């Protein structure tokens, strides 16, 4: 289960907001400090979402291997890039980039989990074998950043129903889900199958 923290006990502070032109479009990038952890979380924003309803939102957890290196072991980098393009197409959206590598277990143990997966463990079994939960992410900061941008409600870009449940538990008004269908490859099919079979992700698996 993903964790949730009492959001009234957590404070966030927007430290900087800057223009960020990208291949997808011209965004603004905000960096936040917070009292929950020592990580710098980010909001990538296009358009003027304040006061609007049904804003397209992606809550994306950091994946160095997928986002930066283009790893084919997961679908994270593809989800990140596709979300940015969908928001740019609509002319409005918020992509929250949370520094929660490896579903919250950190880069070191994520790489150790990769080695266990190469030995036959699935992604859930590998996390458990390393003494972690299957998913240790906390979305409290995400909810507070959305509040800082003043959105009334969101459509969430996700395949993960737990993420929707977690945000709703933090009083985020999620009015709809926008799926992100992955590209299946020989290197990620087992990983994606585990997401469906063990973590309730809403994906259509190949026959």
Q: Which residues are catalytically annotated?
A: 135, 137
Strand-by-strand arrangement of the 12-21 sheet? 12-21, 26-34, 41-46, 93-98, 55-61, 154-157, 174-178
- Provide the pairing of β-strand 41-46 with 55-61: unpaired
Q: Where are the alpha helices (DSSP H) in 72-134?
A: 76-90, 107-118, 123-129
Cβ pair 119, 86 in contact under 8 A: no
**Which DSSP state fits 80?**
H
Provide the 10 A C-beta neighbour count for residue 4.
16
> What burial letters (b/e) apply to 9-37, b meaning 16+ CB within 10 Å?
ebebeeeeeeeeeeebbebebbebebebb
15: tokens are 């430290």
**85: nearest Cα among 137, 25, 37:** 25
């Amino acid at each position: 289960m993903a964790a949730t923290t009492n959001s009234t006990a957590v404070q966030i502070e927007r430290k900087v907001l800057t223009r960020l032109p990208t291949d997808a479009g011209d965004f603004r990038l905000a960096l936040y400090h917070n009292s929950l952890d020592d990580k710098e979380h980010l909001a990538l924003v296009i358009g003027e979402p304040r006061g609007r309803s049904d804003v397209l939102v992606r809550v994306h957890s950091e994946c160095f291997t997928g986002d930066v290196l283009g790893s084919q072991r997961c679908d994270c980098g593809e989800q990140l890039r596709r979300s940015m393009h969908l928001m740019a197409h609509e002319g409005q959206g918020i992509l929250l980039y949370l520094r929660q590598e490896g579903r919250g277990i950190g880069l070191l143990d994520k790489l150790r989990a990769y080695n266990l997966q190469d030995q036959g463990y699935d992604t859930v079994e590998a996390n458990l074998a390393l003494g972690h939960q299957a998913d240790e992410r906390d979305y409290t900061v995400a909810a507070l950043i959305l509040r800082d941008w003043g959105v009334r409600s969101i459509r969430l870009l996700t395949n993960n129903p737990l993420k929707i449940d977690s945000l709703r538990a933090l009083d985020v008004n999620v009015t709809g889900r926008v799926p992100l269908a992955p590209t299946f490859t020989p290197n990620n099919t087992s990983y994606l199958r585990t997401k469906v079979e063990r973590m309730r992700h809403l994906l259509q698996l190949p026959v």
